[in-house]
Amino acid sequence: MVPFAATSQDLPVETIVQSLLPERTGPVISGATAELTRGIQRQAPIPEVFDLPKAQLIVSFEGNSHRLTEPGLRALRSIAAALKDPRLADAPFQVGSHAYDPANLAGAQVLTTRRATTITQHLNVFYDIPTERLIPVGYGTSAPFDLAQAAHPMNNRIELINLAPLNK
């Protein structure tokens, strides 16, 4: 599944909702079999991997900070409307933040953690989205969208992941 991606100026609520619906959960991929582990001994089974519903979005911040810009605030308005949609109203979400700056790889972890926390706090304070539904995670530089193009806008993205399918 190719995740939905949009800029902060173009966040259609229904498209966000559709990309986050539990029906978008892909097949469960079983943990690695003995053939795939090539004889490596393990103490416990490798956990299953889920293709969870997600939306990858641009939420803009001021420079190298966790302060939201005007377009970032508009993006959060659309995200809040999607999270309040009755089809998603009870689902928990991971709010993952990614940043890729080759000149400041070490600072990206702190920055993305602050950005994810800022988003969850903003959604709670201004839109009454319960904090229990939002899990902020800073990914730092661990999962760039396009490593070949450091300036690609999606390298600095927010990823909403619907965790409800894990609770079934």
pLDDT at 31 > cutoff 70: no
pLDDT at 48 > cutoff 60: no
Outline where 7-165 has alpha helix (H): 13-20, 34-37, 70-84, 105-127
Q: Are 155 and 146 in contact (CB under 8 A)?
A: yes
Written as six digits, the tokens of 141 are 């530089």
Task: Report pTM.
Answer: 0.78
pLDDT at 60 > cutoff 70: yes
Q: Which residue has the higher pLDDT, 43 or 122?
A: 122
For residue range 86-141, what is the model confidence (pLDDT) as tens digits? 999 889 999 998 887 766 767 888 888 999 999 999 999 999 999 999 999 988 77
Q: Which residue has the higher pLDDT, 38 or 53?
A: 53
Q: Which helix (H) or strand (E) holds 131?
A: none
* pLDDT band, residue 1 (cuts 50/70/90): very low
Written as six digits, the tokens of 60 are 């803009």
Question: Would you list the domain boundaries of the chain?
Answer: 4-26+48-167
Architecture of domain 4-26+48-167: 2-Layer Sandwich (3.30)
Token pair 């920055």 is found at 111
CA–CA distances in Å: residue 21 to residues 7, 13, 64, 73 = 20, 12, 32, 23
